[in-house]
Amino acid sequence: DRSVSAPLPVLGRDVTVPLVTGGEVTYAALDYAASAPALQRVWDDVAAYAPYYGSVHRGAGYLSQLSTDLFENARRTVAAFLDCRPADQVVFTRSTTDSLNLLARALPADCRVFVFETEHHASLLPWREAQVTYVDAPRTPEQAVATLERALADREPHGPALVCVTGASNVTGELWPVRRLAAAAHAHGARIVLDAAQLAPHHPVSVRDLDVDWVAFSGHKLYAPFGAGVLAGRADWLREAEPYLAGGGASRRVSRRTDGGVDVEWHEGAARHEAGSPNVIGAYAIASACKALTEAGFDTLVAREQHLIRTVREGLAEVPEVSVLSLFGDDAPRVGVVSFVVAGWNSSHFAAALSAEYGIGVRDGLFCAHPLVRTLLGSDPETQGECGAPEAAPGEKSLNAVRVSFGAGTPDEHVERFVTAVK
């Protein structure tokens, strides 16, 4: 049955929505790049554990011990999922945004950060208290490597440096040449953090093979619910930094000084940056999703997703009014994220019509990547609206775009309905 077939069952398959044209239809969730529905398997695992959760690292009782074990096991599962090096550390955070902000707070003194202007705001903005070089938008993967190399080589003085780059764009779905960018960073004495928010749900990510120093991703895009994310990678900068949050759990010893103040000895491991009671259910859910994806096999998932991408892109190519947004061109390898504009349509109205008339949920806007979307639309930065739905005047070119995105829980019927609706 094409309406239910998908490699991995997800929640929300039975949601029906009313149509303005009358009747109702099964909801087609085609906004995985914002948040993917949770896997049924994740939900089942969490439901089985939830009645028994307890406080992590804080109790002598059985359920507290159980939760501590599950939390620490979740760390190991994530490390295996990311193919981390033995000395790497997995820190549980709230999200990719949180992970990158944590790393930004752990930069060594005088660190310069290099980031492409095309990044998602979560990768673009956390570094603003450091010295940042914004690298111009490349139009090919080769140009990305070459411009980064030039920027790194030109830096003065030649101190510590960090490159932050996305693995897969949340706007174009295009894969970035992460291995080559990592090699360029390392050749110039810099480190690199990979924003894998959009890559990890669609592709295997090997820290070892890509040779990146850190990886960040979010549970809610990886088929787990909200509230938990990961920063995995080298321990040294994190060990030397002030704790991200000050509080219990991060502190090993706290004592009053004779002058009336307080002395604190902080933990050195992941706990240093996990102050407060850890989100054990969130970590457990992420670990469950990692296991489910690994067991399903990325070979199968990728092959199937490429089929859906072809359906969408070939369908859109048949509509002359549609322009698909792309930085690297049609042949670039990509994940299941496609953004486009439709001549004569305001993108917000188009997305609203897909929802009201076809029960399809997509996103419209600038996708928290304003400089990138403006570059792709060729629009004037001065006249742009903010994140959300800027309105184009009638007859003018789009100021925003429509994005359709999908993954392991998407049945064929959803993308087929989308193509029919656009046509």
Closer Cβ to ligand PMP, 297 or 388, answer by number: 388
What 3-state DSSP class applies to 51?
helix
| 58 vs 105: CA distance, rounded Å | 26
Q: How far is CA 217 from the centre of its chain?
A: 5
C-alpha distance from residue 350 to each of 6, 124, 322, 358 (Å): 27, 29, 12, 11
Binding-site size, ligand PMP (CB under 6 A)? 15
| 241 vs 162: CA distance, rounded Å | 15
| 408 vs 390: CA distance, rounded Å | 31
Q: Does 195 bind ligand PMP (CB under 6 A)?
A: yes
Q: Does 101 bind ligand PMP (CB under 6 A)?
A: no
Which of 89, 97, 323, 405 binds ligand PMP (CB under 6 A)? It is: 97
Which of 77, 118, 172, 218 binds ligand PMP (CB under 6 A)? It is: 218
- Taken in order 324, 423, 8, 306, the sign of the CA dihedral is negative
Q: Does 279 bind ligand PMP (CB under 6 A)?
A: no
Which of 26, 68, 118, 170 binds ligand PMP (CB under 6 A)? It is: 170
- Minimum distance from residue 99 beta carbon to ligand PMP (Å): 8
Which of 67, 101, 118, 198 binds ligand PMP (CB under 6 A)? It is: 198
- Minimum distance from residue 166 beta carbon to ligand PMP (Å): 5
Q: Does 197 bind ligand PMP (CB under 6 A)?
A: yes
Closer Cβ to ligand PMP, 3 or 35, answer by number: 35
- Minimum distance from residue 70 beta carbon to ligand PMP (Å): 22
C-alpha distance from residue 363 to each of 34, 54, 166, 188, 306 (Å): 8, 37, 20, 39, 21
Instruction: Give the single-character DSSP code of 160.
Output: -
Which of 95, 347, 348, 375 binds ligand PMP (CB under 6 A)? It is: 95
Restricted to residues 334-373, the positions that interact with ligand PMP (CB under 6 A) are 368
Q: In 176-213, which ranges are E strands? A: 191-195
Residue type, 56: V
Closer Cβ to ligand PMP, 35 or 64, answer by number: 35
Residue for token digits 């749900």? 201
Q: Does 400 bind ligand PMP (CB under 6 A)?
A: no
Active site residues: 368
Q: How far is CA 154 from the centre of its chain?
A: 30
Strand duo 191-195 + 161-166: pairing? parallel
- Minimum distance from residue 145 beta carbon to ligand PMP (Å): 19
Element (H, E) at 315: helix 298-317
Which of 122, 152, 222, 232 binds ligand PMP (CB under 6 A)? It is: 122
Instruction: Kindly compute the dihedral angle of the four CA atoms of residues 50, 54, 57, 62, in this order, to the nearest 10 degrees.
Output: -110
Q: How many CB atoms lie within 10 A of CB 261?
A: 8
| 248 vs 267: CA distance, rounded Å | 10
- Minimum distance from residue 57 beta carbon to ligand PMP (Å): 25
Q: Does 96 bind ligand PMP (CB under 6 A)?
A: yes
Among the listed ranges 2-10, 117-125, 204-212, 269-277, the one in contact with ligand PMP (CB under 6 A) is: 117-125
- Minimum distance from residue 130 beta carbon to ligand PMP (Å): 18
Residues that bind ligand PMP (CB under 6 A): 33, 95-97, 120, 122-123, 166, 170, 195, 197-198, 218, 220, 368
